[in-house]
Chains A and B, each alone.
Chain A
Amino acid sequence: MDQFTINLLFVGGSFALYIGIAIWAKAGSTSDFYVAGGGVHPITNGAAIGADWMSAASFISMAGLIAAGGYANSTFLMGWTGGYVLLAMLLAPYLRKFGKFTVPEFIGDRYYSQNARMVAVICLIVASVTYVIGQMAGAGVAFSRFLEVDSTLGLIIAAVVIFLYAVMGGMKGITYTQVAQYCVLIVAYTIPAVFISIQLTGNPIPGLGLFSTHTESGLPLLTKLNQVITDLGFNEYTADVDNKLNMVLFTLTLMIGTAGLPHVIIRFFTVPKVADARWSGGWALVFIALLYLTAPAVASMARLNLMTTIYPDGTSSAPIEYENRPQWVQEWEVTGLIQFEDKNNDGRIQLYNDAPSFQDEADARGWEGNELVVNRDILVLANPEIANLPGWVIGLIAAGGLAAALSTAAGLLLAISSAISHDLIKGRFNPAITDKGELLAARISMAVAIVVATYLGANPPGFAAQVVALAFGIAAASLFPALMMGIFSKRVNNKGAIAGMLSGLVFTLAYIFVYKGWLFIPGTNNLADIPANWVLGISPLSIGAIGAMVNFAVAFTVSNATEEPPVEIQELVESVRYPRGSGKATDH
């Protein structure tokens, strides 16, 4: 059986499974649609959160980022997991007790203000839409590589599948599909990693293999990797960073942003009790950690494998001849994600760091520049091929990458559609709408959101690469502080909350736009986006944490200068703090 057929079987089989689950879990009421009827077991919910959270970014890109940056990019590992500690202790149990369907609804009720609710709706939609573009684009890439179809056609197939199970099943369909998708993606991620870890270190657990001995050289794996890459002019993999302030703030931004992203928060509304919301956070992190503890191992091992592929006889010998390059390099060259240019016309592939510090050695060896450019996003997808694993593992990776992209896209689309149907249509324009009418509105807004996301995924705006900073910056600077103060302070009032959200948001956006261009329009940036220009060395990606602090400070100052919230609001805050009598999530 050829590789194409195998990929088709794995991807087609997994899609059939998702649609089967969706038919079984059809939503009958708004409660089913928004919160899966509120009857999801904490472990089931944990797995669903895991799939919801782990997107194309976690599955496809993260290991590549760590492989390229080494220690410095540990920020992603800590940032995207540490947020769950904040979520489980500061938000989830109380929002579950509050017992409504959406995040803007809590903000609107707690700050007794339709305006606050609308600010939250806008933040939610901007953060979620920017995020969903990346997922759709990721699904398109996976389709075009593994099913050899045009990426636009691939995207449309993905959209139809999401449409079938998300529109029909709502949160109920999404929850159970996400559990299946979690299983597919974790198996797909782990199996190649285990094989590679055994090949390199003899240890079957990749997370332990990372700190074990490299069998071939007898050195610790990381020492061997440091040696190989410094021989070629790169920085040590484990090297410490100089700009610790920026590293701290970037990690903090990712953590606060994670805790403030609405599509994750609403998952906690689906469990029956407050105690279950607490357990859910723990289980979610267990399921996420299975991938996150493996990712750094995948990163270092793939980097070492790549280097030894190019330099089979060691870094001091000549690199591999272009004619003899492995099959996987040829296949990825077709997609343009690996590019080779024989700068010194010796027919060999020189892969090294083109830095001034390495110039003398490069001259001595007759090298005229780095000749191989490898897009870091292909690392996980190409990993099984780099390690010569059998064809079914490659089919599995294809299904896993698609599961990661689709599950996150569905979660985001649900958050967007519930904000539109519940907060905008029912909350603002037509409060008298019936349950049935609202369910129809929810399905229509979901369908529209899918069409828009598919279009943007096929024609990504030029700023697609920047949007992650935007999504996390917005969630960190606007939503998280408003939610947290709503629970932990009885004093913060409507004026304080709105002023806080807006100032946090404007401050964060302004700092990002100064370096990245206003509304990301190229050429409109006031300062070049280089570390020398950053205030105190703080990158635009790290500014969300400062934006959150601005939000807190402004909200407290304005609230203290104005009147106390009404007594019934103070009682509401009091009631979310105590689990007794939560009932299931409703809209009344």
Chain B
Amino acid sequence: MPWAEALIESQSPARLLSSAGERRLSYTDALNEALVLALGLDPNVFVLGQGVNDPSAMFGVTRQLEQQFGSKRIFDTPLSDEGLTGICTGAAMTGLRPVYLHNRPDFLLLAFNQIVNHASKIHYMDNGQTTVPLVMWAAIGRGWGSGSQHSQAIQGLLLTVPGLKIVMPSDPYDAKGLMLAAIADNNPVLIFEHRWLMKQTGHVPEGLYKVPIGKGIYRRKGNDITIVGSSHTLQLAMQALDSLSDSAISAEVIDLRTIKPLDTEIIIESVRKTGRVLIVDTGWAMGGVCAEIGCLIAESCPESLRHPVRRIALPDVPAPAGYTLEQFYYPTAENIATAIIEMCN
């Protein structure tokens, strides 16, 4: 689908923070580099998933891995999402570190029995005697007819599962650092990438580094409003603020990086300062990341609020396939900018 690629490319402006002379990598190259480093460092790491060694190499993330590390450590799989997730869980319980890649999160729904009933709970149910260092990775789709079954952002469904960690990077630096942190983690970690981030480039240092799981980061400091998000919505928020650069609004932007465990401290700290919060997410508004953060604020610092909490996420509707309907469905930088202006005036 060459047009789909072009569409994604058009949605990926250069990173604002980059400066001349920095080492720059594409998002997928950053992920590839993380896998190469992890595979080189630890013989227990292996990478599997449908198409990891095919010509498209999982968007390029697994390019050349089989040639470098062999077919025992890098292998294509049968289409057995539940079975393979359980197999990865069993391998992780006995000392290996699987990295199981899925094209789309929609297919993880087939594996919920293993993710929710097993991988996430085994450490607890075994009273700490077993660990499950398992990484599951999938890229959220959007547009070009992906529709209801190829563009679901299901993080909200999994947010309630104890024992699970959920990571949602927003740039190449984080993609690499969070992948390395996830592989090093002794718990099951789900990484939700976003397809529309994959063509961007950004500063990526050489060598090993980890971005801490469970910690958010300020992408911009300000006093009037806090915008909280992750993944692709973070980029939309930055675009929205760029469009408001002539206004007097001083906005603070928090990139959650990880939605579970949630960095509640950074959210509360910022809302106490700004008194206004707009929460953005790639998933459904109902019962998801936005709802949870809204409730956190209501419980923790309601006295700080100068304006009611607002959220921008998906309506309680499946993703439509067609282009026109999509325009009404997804959050945009314009929606976010409008909400910011309304809240600050």
Chains A and B come from one and the same complex = no
